[in-house]
Structure 1
């Protein structure tokens, strides 16, 4: 074998080996590129899912927040309406006149007088505008005397030192009791859906 043949065989073998290495390198590069593309697609899909979840959470939060705000505004509006109704009732009680006012004042005074012993000195307080009315009613009661002004819509506050009892039968206190006892029913009638 000649030296040229040996050199040629070595060259061919080196070329073949280089070609195998290059082919292996290209195959490995293709594998790496394919794996990188798969990873990139997986990362992108995960990111898209994450973004969609965040968008859905944000949408749910905003919807929940909007519902809560609407509910709060509805409750505030109901409170305002109930406040207006209560004011109207108070205005009507304060503006009662004539026989109706006298009948109601007598009724609350009779109710309060049940708490006192016969012979007690009883002091009766009432609205300044009702002084004459209360004094005329008290003419029918022994030991009862108009004692002064009490800031209220009407009715009376009655007390006695002997009994150590004080009865608040003002229209205000009666309205408060009725209002609290019937608030649910009032609300239902005003806001039936």
Structure 2
């Protein structure tokens, strides 16, 4: 073999090796590129899932907030309606006249008088407009006298220094008790769904 042939064989072998290395490099580069593309796709899909979760979470928060606000508005409206009903009842109590007002005032005074001993000096207070009514009722009670005005819808406040007792039997106090005891039923009737 001549030197030229050996050089040519070495050159061909080197060229084949270079071609083989280049081919392996391209294959490896394609594998790396393919893996990078897969990773990029996974990252993109995860980012999209995360964005969807955040959107859903934000939607739930806003929906929950809107429901809470609507509930608060309903409660406010119910409170307003209950306030209007209470005000209307108070107006009707204040407007009671005649025998009905006298009977109620007498009943409240009778109930209050149970708290006092016989012979006590008892002071009775009432609504300014009811002065004459109260004074006429007090004619039936020994030791009781009209002592002045009390800011209320009607009824009486009765007290005695001897007993150190004060009884508030006004329409207002009775209404308060009845209102508190029956508020659930009142609400149920007003807002039955």
Cα RMSD, aligned residues only: 0.8
Task: For residue 14 of structure 1, report the CA deviation from its aligned partner.
Answer: 1.3
Residues 5-20 of structure 1 mapped to structure 2, 5 A cutoff: 5-20=5-20
Where does residue 88 of structure 1 map in the other structure? 88
Q: Deviations over 1:67-122 (max 9, x none)?
A: 11111111111111000000000011111111111111111001101111111000
Structure 2 unaligned segments of length 5 or more: list them. Answer: none
**Matches of 1:151 and 1:140, distance apart in 2:** 24
**Matches of 2:94 and 2:29, distance apart in 1:** 95
Q: Does 1:130 align with 2:130?
A: yes
TM-score (norm 2): 0.98
Task: For residue 66 of structure 1, report the CA deviation from its aligned partner.
Answer: 1.1
**Matches of 1:127 and 1:14, distance apart in 2:** 122
Q: Deviations over 1:20-54 (max 9, x none)?
A: 11111101101001100110111011111111111
Task: For residue 164 of structure 1, report the CA deviation from its aligned partner.
Answer: 0.8
Q: Detail structure 1 runs of 4+ shifted over 2 Å in the superposition.
A: none
Count matched residues: 193
Where does residue 109 of structure 1 map in the other structure? 109
**Matches of 1:12 and 1:169, distance apart in 2:** 122
Task: For residue 137 of structure 1, report the CA deviation from its aligned partner.
Answer: 0.8
Where does residue 148 of structure 2 map in the other structure? 148
Where does residue 64 of structure 2 map in the other structure? 64
- DSSP 3-state at the match of 1:58: helix
TM-score (norm 1): 0.98
Where does residue 177 of structure 1 map in the other structure? 177
Structure 1 unaligned segments of length 5 or more: list them. Answer: none
**Matches of 1:149 and 1:94, distance apart in 2:** 15
